[in-house]
Structure 1
């Protein structure tokens, strides 16, 4: 069986061959190296969640017996971004959460397809991506145009109209990104509080009330989760962490009333002790 993925109805990703292909131009194929391909597959499998730097390095390299530096991690994410750029992806599909990790951009559509036989992709004109190539593109949008000598008209009217439509679409994405950034900052603030001062953390989390013990999971809810409906919604996430509760049994669940987001902090020890924690958050549909 061969799994492959359609991304935003424009890209076809084949993990088995480490290739990306433009669906609108089948001859436009990019060959990634194996680690960069594994990074993309991991982000797809964990869509909607932040994948930490530690998790990427562990799953992509360390579980295969390889010890690599953080620089190798950055190089392979750069290779992945360059591959997407060569296929004409101008939006920031791979979002970096500074000092935390990576996630797929909000709204990214991924369709998983399964074939009985591995799909053969010709590499006659494929682009192989290397780290030493130019990496001048910034995380934001850069529109580059080439003009013949003496051509003084930068954008013809039809292209200006297209750019206005593109700018409108980007403004909507920027609003969504701003909401995401606000939520991430709130989550980072909580995570920073956890790591910086355990005594302060203990006092902060004293406001959380013990809710249930589910297997090895010990669940605490923030004091802003009051109604039965909110409690049931918060507790519905516990099943996702049954296995990880063997190592991180203390779960602290928060909900932000102004944002459709739920934060779950999982710790190996209670907040009253020196501990190690992992922060997860979940997007909730407005429908």
Structure 2
């Protein structure tokens, strides 16, 4: 069974062949390289949440036994953006959340379809996206059109890779950990990246810059700097959901990203200056 996806009702994406095809012009095809295609598939499967750089590198490369540098990650995200732009979707469909990761734009519409029919690619009408974004391919590939069949195993399985039960079980376990621990990954990645790039000579903790504004039902509420009045009101409106848990997680740190309809709320059982346990909630807001 081959899963493919319709994006914004105009583009068809086939993960098995890493191809983007325009629905109204079936001869307009862009072929991504395999890693860029898997990056797009992960973003689609995780629509509505953020995929961190570490998580992307783990799922797309490391779980398949490949060790790559961050530069390889950035190159393939660039290839993916160029491919989406070339097919007509635009680069802005992939949103960068500074120092956290990537997500699909909130207005992106994805429809998942399944079929047993083979997908045939005519290389004469295909645009290839390589590391150098060259629109060429080998003579052998032109002479032998690709016929891609859906694989029974995971959509991330590498072509021609022998079936390995231990490998599949490991992959399933890792996916379960990723799904159940996404908010923890977001918080840890945010703190690690910030600490690695900090230019503060005194190495002050990031959350030291937050301002305590009130104590409500036992919760000590801290807001990030630079919030507008409307942003503060919107951010504080989410606190109604957590009032019952103030006794267990009384330290609350609220971040609102300027220019983006997103709010992060981190609730901890002790202040950030001490060893603590935290819960992170992330809210995406729909622009009306």
Smaller-chain TM-score range?
0.5 to 0.7
Matches within 5 A, 1:121-140: 121-124=120-123, 125-133=125-133
The answer (yes or no) to whether the contact 2:10–2:24 under 8 Å persists in 1 is: yes
Q: Measure how far apart 1:6 and its partner are.
A: 0.9
For residues 184-223 of structure 1, give each alpha carbon's deviation from its aligned partner in whole angstroms, at most 9, with x where no partner exists. xxxx89x959x85349649867967798xxxxxxxx7847
Q: Measure how far apart 1:47 and its partner are.
A: 1.9
The aligned residue for residue 52 of structure 2 is 52
| Alpha-carbon separation, structure 2, partners of 1:53 and 1:206 | 33
Matches within 5 A, 1:164-203: 197-198=204-205, 201=208
| Alpha-carbon separation, structure 2, partners of 1:267 and 1:63 | 32
Relative to structure 1, the CA distance from residue 10 to residue 269 in structure 2 (aligned partners, 3 Å threshold; closer, same or farther) is farther
| Alpha-carbon separation, structure 2, partners of 1:75 and 1:93 | 17
The aligned residue for residue 22 of structure 2 is 22
| Alpha-carbon separation, structure 1, partners of 2:277 and 2:64 | 25
- SS for the counterpart of 2:54 is helix
- Listed as ranges, the gaps of 5+ residues in structure 2 are 136-189, 223-231
Matches within 5 A, 1:227-242: 230-231=238-239, 233=241
| Alpha-carbon separation, structure 1, partners of 2:90 and 2:263 | 30
The answer (yes or no) to whether the contact 1:96–1:102 under 8 Å persists in 2 is: yes
- SS for the counterpart of 2:121 is coil
Q: Measure how far apart 1:113 and its partner are.
A: 1.8
Relative to structure 1, the CA distance from residue 203 to residue 71 in structure 2 (aligned partners, 3 Å threshold; closer, same or farther) is closer
- Listed as ranges, the gaps of 5+ residues in structure 1 are 136-187, 212-219, 239-248
Relative to structure 1, the CA distance from residue 134 to residue 114 in structure 2 (aligned partners, 3 Å threshold; closer, same or farther) is closer
Q: How many residues align?
A: 211
For residues 129-166 of structure 1, give each alpha carbon's deviation from its aligned partner in whole angstroms, at most 9, with x where no partner exists. 1121379xxxxxxxxxxxxxxxxxxxxxxxxxxxxxxx
The alignment's C-alpha RMSD in Å is: 4.5
| Alpha-carbon separation, structure 2, partners of 1:69 and 1:250 | 39
Using the size of structure 1 for normalisation, the TM-score is 0.56
